[in-house]
Structure formats: structure tokens, C-alpha cells
Amino acid sequence: MLTRTAAPGPWTLHLDTPGPDADQAVLAGLPVAATVPGTVHTDLLAAGLIDDPYLDRNELLTPWIGRSRWRYETTLPAPGAPGEADAERTDLVLDGLDTLATVSVDGVERLRTRNMFRSYRVPLDSVDAAHVAVVFDSPWGPFDALDDEARRAFDSPSAHIRKMACNFGWDWGPTLVTAGIWRPVRIESWSVARLAETRVEVRAERGGGHDGAGWRGVVEVGVELERTSTAHDAELVVRVAGATASVVVPAAETSAQVVVEVPVADADLWWPRGSGAQPLHDLEVELLDHETGEPLDRDDRRVGFRSVEVRREADADGESFAFVVNGRPVAALGFNWIPDDCFPHRVTHDDVAARLCDAAEANANILRVWGGGLYESDDFYAQCDELGFLVWQDFAFACALYPEHEWMLQEVEAEARENVVRLMSHPSLAIWNGNNENWLGWDDWGWKERLGDQPWGERYYLDVLPRVVADVSPHAFYWPGSPYSGTPEVYSNDRSRGVVHLWDGWNEQGYQVFADDRPRFVSEFGWQGPPAWRTLTDAVHDDPLLPDSPGVLHHQKAVDGSLKLARGLAPYFDEPADMADWHWAMQLNQARALTFAIEHFRSLRPLNMGSIVWQLNDCWPVASWAVVDSAGRRRPAWFAVRAAFAPRLATIQPRDGELALVLVNDGHEEWAGSAIVRRVGLDGRVLAEQPVTFAVGPVAGQTLTLDPALSAPGDAAAEVLVADVDGAARAFRYFAVDRELAYPRPRLEVKAVPVDGGDVEVTVTTDTFVRDLTLHADRLGAGAAVDEALVTLLPGESATFRVTGVGVLAGTLAAPVLRHAADLLT
């Protein structure tokens, strides 16, 4: 039986060739102990030779690391595990090398790599102890080697190497160009044959049950085998799910296909979150010696039965783009996912679980794994299976012109095949996407004028990638890009079809511009804000700490990011008076922008069937579009998205010059009830009201036009519309922006009471109108968190916040802990 053992080490890290401006103090401290999996940066950090690049402006001290040549070394012990010593073959398996690596065994070069996204296998010729060296050339090398003309044409270093693009810096991430053995290394010992590739496709098809009206599960398994030189005349058996099905592989054959049908009257279907349960089943693929029955290798999976398609149908508004799971349309609400750390080997199971919990509790059902990052870990997709997230998986191309060299075409095909094979069995995997914003760049960023007739990457998106998906996983859905309209002949960001990215609001016009669009599916949109106060101050130690102090500006990577933050705030509030007000204002404006956009998009249901926010998470402490910062603290924007993603949403929207109550039901059951809409003075007086009844079908919306007496205020500065709806959170609509509203100064009564479990309940009662009441728990303690934010109260109402991680609260809760919108007005 094939045995797997982790390569034990110890490993050491050496410097072969220092980059320009190398730190002499670091050089004097080398070599150092190395961690595998790991990177050069984190080994130097662990050895105390560099300061944490996430803090202050330490990043600026590290560029030489990415321009150096590094070497990892270890000696492998002689085989000792059962089955190792007498195995016919022993291989060194490297799951991930970042990126330009040369692997030598006992001084003999055995492998050269140039792709971070592939795994590699090196046969070990001897069972004796072997010295292994892995040398990493600078990832900048391919770009630096270009002549000036090529560098001007293909100006992204990431486009010339198959490596995580955001390593070279992004508008939310630092430039930390890594090298290292970033995924596990192990020893595999085997005899006769092994499973070199196992393709598992699991789906549900209509036609199951006694009457043919239900669903049946189908499992298709394809394997590629590697045989030892002495085993070509052996017959082998591939068995699926114990004794459910098997096939004999004749001598010398190296491939086999097994199809298993699971005829269940009502198949135990896997559903996305909010649509049903996520049953998973153990699937075992075994390779056996046909003559002796001896097990040779096995591959274990957990799978789920489901049908996923993307429905595209022409209509009066263009063409739809909607996920359909097990025959039901699903409104996709979720987040873009970036690497959770600039050094991905540091991301643990618990880290992934925490971030997915953030997404789940925000009512999300889809995550887009963005193309400038990684094909994520097996653990990530397994947790998505368990939690019911649909996964939109980009191939690793982003925001760049990619040359179509023959070597890169081959690398991309091999990379795509390996990752499609690895991920195709996950029920969560819903769509493969060719690239991030490369079609948009071709249309809008002057690329076609710069390149003319030169190849720029289109062949990957229209030929190589769809061909691999069709060959390996023929029932999977492939889409050539995000954004993409469905054909290169139509503008890539056409709002009437396909998927779009909406960045005009952030970049130029303010978030109100979201209301001008009627997109079919939005796969990127967002608004920036700072991280939690404690996250910011733990990372930046400027004195004084100001919006434009050096460390704060260094942790703002967007072009003109600070200017755009200020410009986006200006229509609503005056310039903040101090750093505390600036921080609260920018966090509040991020939350407001996301609420505005999401409620508008959802109010178009079923014309719009998807809203994927940019972004869920951060990779380091930074001003960004994330709703959860790098310390795992939920920004106010997270609470805004949770409310806006509620399965049943009530929102007041403009319709044909009037105001309307729009009810959105993304569930699969009818939503019926009554509502009352009131025009209320900020002093609490009811000025007009309208009762309504409603019945909203599954995955649908209903628009109820309001009486003119509600839509036309008597005093826009002192009135608000309030809708109380059965089964949904209260909705508000204001007639003026904050700086024009006559907010009363709230008189808040605050009581803090310890409760079971060591938490504290903070109850706030107001005798005046108060908007966006928020308790910033991180200001109470590093581990503190709160369950609610952005609460708006009418006079005489109360709200209770449950605070965890603080013990007993002492003193008065006031600014900057407890904030509201009127705090920002003089």
C-alpha cells in the first residue's frame, strides 16, 4: 500500500545571491532554520532578522528579499515507516514551490519549476539518506529580462510568471514578493502502481425514483495510473465506494473510467446556504492488485449530489445570468475572497473557519475566489462544502496582459488540469471563470492600442481553459471572464448581460451612482474604509496619528485612496474634526455605500440575480474594501451587509418619480403579510401612514407604490419614512443627506449588565431620534466583539448590544466607544 510521510527536516535557509540594497545585518545572521511549509520572509522574521513587514512602514525595508536567490536544504532520513524500505519506488512530493525553483538530490539537478500553482514529484533513486536542495531564483527575473519594448507592452511583472499576482502589490496589499516551499513536502513509497490522477465528478440528474420524477445521483470516476517498471504486465482493479462498482485495468493500461449511478427516489441533494441542507457522503476510490487483492493506493473524498447551471436567457432587458441549483433559481449574495495572508502557509483551518463564519453570519451564499490570488487549499473548499457556499473559482489571471509564449501555454494547461481535477468533486464548486478584469482592460485601459495585433491572453480564456474544463469536468460551467458580456463582440462590462464590475462610484462619482445601473449580475462592487481602531493602532504607531500621517498613508494602497475617501464623504458630512471622527466617518460611509448598492440591486429582482461584494477579508492591516479586517474584527460595513443580505428584505426605493416599498424574497417559500409605512418627524410624531398587504413568491420581488402623502415631506430636514414589515427588518428612507437633517442631540441612557457566560449586555435607550448607533467593542479590549451595529431608533426606543470578551464594564460608555451619525455634525 502506498505510504505517505511528511518530509521531517530540519530545513535550513541560505542566501545564494543577495538582491540590490541587501540588509547587511540580515546577511550576517544567515543561514537560519527554515519552516516548511513557509517562505523566506517568515523564516527571516522568525529568526529576528527582519521587522514585521505588516507594521508601520517596515515593508519598505524588504524589497531586496524578493530580488535575491535563496536556497533551502535538508537531509532525508533512510526509510523507516512500514512499507517504505521494501517499496519499489520512493518519491519526493512537493505540493507547492513558489516559484522559480531548482530541486537537486545529492547534488544532481532533478527538477526545474516555474509555476506556484502546481505540485511536483521527484523520484528518489536510493533508499539511503539523500541531501535535498531547493534553490529559488528571484520572481522578478522573467520581467527584468525583458527588453524595454516588451516591458512597456507587458508591464505587469506577474504576467511573466505563474505566481500569485498580488505578491507584487495591489490596491489593498503590500509588495512582498515571496519565495519558498509554500505547501507541504512528503515522501511517498509505493509498489506496482499508484493513482497518479483521480477525477471525481458527482452530480444529480432528473429522472430518479419509481415515477422518474425525482433525482438520481451519478458518480463518474476517471483515473490515470503510474506503474513501476516491473508492473506493466499486472492486471489492476479500480474500485469505487467499496464494492459498489469496479473495473479491471488490463496489463500495461494506464487509464480507467468507472461510472456509478445511485438511484434514489428522492436523492439526498446538496443545497447552497439558505436553500436547504448540505448532506455529504464518503467516497472511496481504491486501486487493487487484481491477482492478490492487495490494496495499492486509495483516494478518499466527501461528495454531495447537486445540479448547478447558469441560466442565460434573452429577454426585453438583454440576457439573464442566474445560478440554478437542483432546478431552482438561487439569488447569489456573497463576497470576493482574497488570500487571507500575504504568506498563505500561515492560514490555518481555524482561520478559514472564522472567515467563512463571517460570511455565513452575513447571510452570504457565494464566495468568489479572485484570480489575482490562489487556488485555495483543500480545506477551504471542504469547509465551503460543509457550510453550503457556492464557490466561484477564478483561474489565476488578473488585471494584466499575458504573453502567449509556448512554455506558458503549456504551463497554464498543466496548472488548469491539475486544479480542475483537484477541485471538481466539491459540490460547492459552481463556476470556473477565466480571468479578473482582463477583458475590461482590453476594452477600457488602452491595451488594444498599445499591443495592436500582438497576442495578449485571449487564447487562454477562449481556448486553453474552456478546453481543459470540458475535457476534465464536462458538466462544469465555464465563463471567460469577470466582467464579461458573453462574447468578445459586445463590451465586456455591458450592464444588460453577463457579469459586471461597478467601480465608477468609488473611483469617480460617489455611491449614489449605483442607482443609475440595472445590472444582471454584479461580481464586484464596493467601498473602502479603515480597519477597526485597534487593528489600525496595533499596526501603525505614528505620533500623532492622523489621516495623513506617514504610517496611515502607507497602509492605504489605493491610488488616491485618501482623496477618494474624502470625496465620497463630502456630500453627507463636513470634514471630520479629528482622527477619531475621521475613522468613524469613513467606516460609516463604507457601511452606507454597501447598503445603498445592495438594496438597489436586490430591488431589481429577478432582473438582477447576483451581488458579490468586494471584498470579505484582508491579508494585512490596511484601509480597504473588506468588511472583516486582518485581525478578524468585523467593521460596521459587515453589519450593514448582513442586514442588506437578509433573506427577506424591505427597502424603500424611487420608482418613476415616486417612492415605493420593495419587498424581496430570496427564500423558496412564499412570503406574505402586512406592513405599515409611516412618515415620521424626527421628534417621533406620525405625519402620515399607509397600511399594505403583500404576498411575494419565491426568489422574487414585489413593488408597492406609496401614497403621495408619504413620498412628499412637509419638512425634508426633519422627517423620515419608516416601514415596519412582517418578517423583515425595519426600513428607512431619508429626504435629505445628513448635513441637511435637523438631527436632535440624542439623550442616551446606557446600562451595562453582566450576563451568563461572562458577556455584558449594553442597553441604550433614547428619548430622541438616533441614527446608526454603533458600539466599537475593540476600544474596550483587544478581544472584545459586539453582536450588532448601525442601529437606528425612534424616540423612546431601546437597543441592546451583547459584548463578548470584556468582563465587567466600568465607567460611562460614550464617544469614541459609542457613536452615532449626529456625532459627525457640528
Domain's final residue, options 283, 303, 323: 303
> Are residue 241 and residue 315 in the same domain, yes or no?
no
572 domain-assigned: no
Q: What is the pLDDT of residue 258?
A: 82
581 domain-assigned: no
Q: Cell for 596?
A: 445603498
Q: What is the pLDDT of residue 733?
A: 98
376-379: list long-range contacts, CB under 8 Å, 24+ apart: 376/337, 377/347, 377/352, 378/422, 379/349, 379/352
> Are residue 196 and residue 146 in the same domain, yes or no?
no
- Residue 764 belongs to a domain with what CATH number? 2.60.40.10
Q: What is the pLDDT of residue 810?
A: 66
152 domain-assigned: yes
Q: What is the pLDDT of residue 79?
A: 66
E strands, 530-685, in order = 610-613, 648-655, 658-665, 671-681
> Are residue 179 and residue 197 in the same domain, yes or no?
no
Determine phi and psi for 192, rounding to 5 degrees: 70, -70
Q: Report yes or no: 179 and 70 within 8 Å, Cβ to Cβ.
A: yes
Determine phi and psi for 164, rounding to 5 degrees: -55, 115
Contacts of 233 (CB under 8 A, 6+ apart): 251, 252
> Are residue 181 and residue 197 in the same domain, yes or no?
no
Q: What is the pLDDT of residue 102?
A: 98
Q: How far apart are CA 119 and CA 378, in angstroms?
A: 13
Q: Report yes or no: 15 and 138 within 8 Å, Cβ to Cβ.
A: no
Q: Is 738 helix (H, G, I), strand (E, B) or coil?
A: helix
Q: Cell for 450?
A: 498599445
Q: Report yes or no: 138 and 69 within 8 Å, Cβ to Cβ.
A: yes
- Confidence (pTM): 0.96
Determine phi and psi for 350, rounding to 5 degrees: -65, -35
Q: What is the pLDDT of residue 391?
A: 98
Q: How far apart are CA 441 and CA 542, in angstroms?
A: 37
> Are residue 198 and residue 232 in the same domain, yes or no?
yes
What range does the domain containing 167 cover?
Answer: 3-188
Between strands 671-681 and 686-696, the pairing is: antiparallel
762 domain-assigned: yes
User: Residue type for 268, please?
Assistant: D
> Are residue 363 and residue 243 in the same domain, yes or no?
no
User: How many domains are contained in the chain?
Assistant: 5
Between strands 236-240 and 281-289, the pairing is: antiparallel
> Are residue 275 and residue 345 in the same domain, yes or no?
no
Q: How far apart are CA 480 and CA 50, in angstroms?
A: 42
Q: Report yes or no: 158 and 165 within 8 Å, Cβ to Cβ.
A: yes
Q: Is 484 exposed, middle or buried (0-12, 13-18, 19+ CB in 10 A)?
A: buried
Q: What is the pLDDT of residue 209?
A: 61
38 domain-assigned: yes
Tell me: the pLDDT tens digits for 630-644?
Answer: 999 999 999 999 999
Between strands 236-240 and 245-249, the pairing is: antiparallel
Q: What is the pLDDT of residue 266?
A: 61
Q: How far apart are CA 323 and CA 312, in angstroms?
A: 9
Q: In the chain, which residues have pLDDT < 50? A: none
Q: How far apart are CA 569 and CA 567, in angstroms?
A: 5
CB atoms within 10 A of CB 281: 17
> Are residue 412 and residue 479 in the same domain, yes or no?
yes
640 domain-assigned: no
CB atoms within 10 A of CB 268: 15
Domain's final residue, options 137, 160, 188: 188
> Kindly report the CA angle at 89 between 83 and 91, in degrees rounded to 5?
100
> Are residue 385 and residue 517 in the same domain, yes or no?
yes
DSSP letter string, 516-543: G---S-EEEE---B---HHHHHHH---S
546 domain-assigned: no
> Are residue 299 and residue 373 in the same domain, yes or no?
no
> Are residue 254 and residue 379 in the same domain, yes or no?
no
> Are residue 169 and residue 29 in the same domain, yes or no?
yes
564 domain-assigned: no
- Residue 381 belongs to a domain with what CATH number? 3.20.20.80
DSSP letter string, 739-755: GGS------EEEEEEE-
Q: What is the pLDDT of residue 826?
A: 77
Q: How far apart are CA 661 and CA 725, in angstroms?
A: 10
Of 66, 62, 64, residue with least CA distance to 53 = 62
- Residue 15 belongs to a domain with what CATH number? 2.60.120.260
Q: How far apart are CA 300 and CA 283, in angstroms?
A: 6
Q: Cell for 135?
A: 534553490
Going by the DSSP 8-state scheme, the letter that residue 143 receives in this structure is H
Write down how long the chain is: 826
Contacts of 651 (CB under 8 A, 6+ apart): 599, 602, 603, 661, 662, 664, 731
Q: What is the pLDDT of residue 693?
A: 97
Q: Report yes or no: 353 and 347 within 8 Å, Cβ to Cβ.
A: no
Domain's final residue, options 724, 740, 756: 740
